[in-house]
Structure 1
């Protein structure tokens, strides 16, 4: 899967498309925006089949990263009390999702 990078408030947000062509978001990037230290998917009560593990080249070498579906993204954002959760949700809905759907994941 090709991973595209979008920018939100100075943060890189990696987004890819799953096999069904639906956008999936890097959980570590979402947690970084929300200032959540533990990006383990088990702590968020996510829909299990909405969590994907992708290999990604990082500064530390190739790593396995958790990506989550839009449904799981909303689960995290709606439960979050962090100040940026609302603006991140607005950005995802109004900018990132339309862009990735329009261009098929290429940024």
Structure 2
């Protein structure tokens, strides 16, 4: 099945191609990486969950049908958090304030080809109108989904505001917990284990850039190592905890006030 491509351009981020699949937007990973200054899209793709990426045929500039790595909205946020460029937050804001609203507002992709077909063919116009009516119903569902996702986006903003890796006590505070109880919870969920006085990730999660270690010299004979969580690690914890029914205080408050 052929899906139309919509192109969004921004002076700061260049060209980003978006495709609608089952009423949901998917982004060309290569374009997103270029906008964020990430040099290896294939490595970025490897770090995403399987349900966040897909190989989809896209027609290139000379008319060839090429399999292209596309990412969904969840994957997009994950990629943004992997960028250490200062413009990552500005890019996310452009996506959420201009690109997504444009997609959801217009429903159909009103490209030049679409308009020309509508002018030439009454049957195509009827199909387009029918598609718009269906899209209006789907947009109602999308608006409800946006209301659900808003607290999630706010928590993502909190993560993006902290460019540096943080101690577990900072994350624990977001969930109304102490560092001790939070570390214990992560252990119970099979995320980390304790070696001596240091918490380390189990193998499935190690080497993915979720944590970093820093060593501090206590005296000439003794040093201690502390584990810090990166932005990517905080997003990983957010998803894992939510899957297990644990949500941040910020998201809980938003849900209560909705």
How far is 1:105 from its partner? Answer: 5.1
Q: 1:81 aligns with which of 74, 80, 84?
A: 84
Partner of 1:59: 61
Kept in 2, the 8 Å contact 1:24–1:68? The answer is yes
Aligned residues: 104
* Inter-partner Cα distance in structure 1 for 2:99 and 2:83: 20
Q: Which residue of 2 aligns with 1:90?
A: 93
Give the match's secondary structure for 2:15: strand
**C-alpha distance in structure 2 between counterparts of 1:5 and 1:105, whole Å:** 13
Aligned equivalent of 1:103: 106
Distance in structure 2 (CA, Å) of the matches to 1:56 and 1:88: 23
Larger relative strand fraction: 1
Structure 1, unaligned stretches of length 5 or more? none
In structure 1, what is the Cα distance between the partners aligned to 2:80 and 2:33?
Answer: 10
Structure 2 unmatched ranges of 5 or more = 111-258
Give the structure 2 partner of residue 27 of structure 1: 29
Query: Retained in 1: the 8 A contact 2:37–2:83?
Result: no
Q: Deviations over 1:47-79 (max 9, x none)?
A: 211212222222364321111011111011123
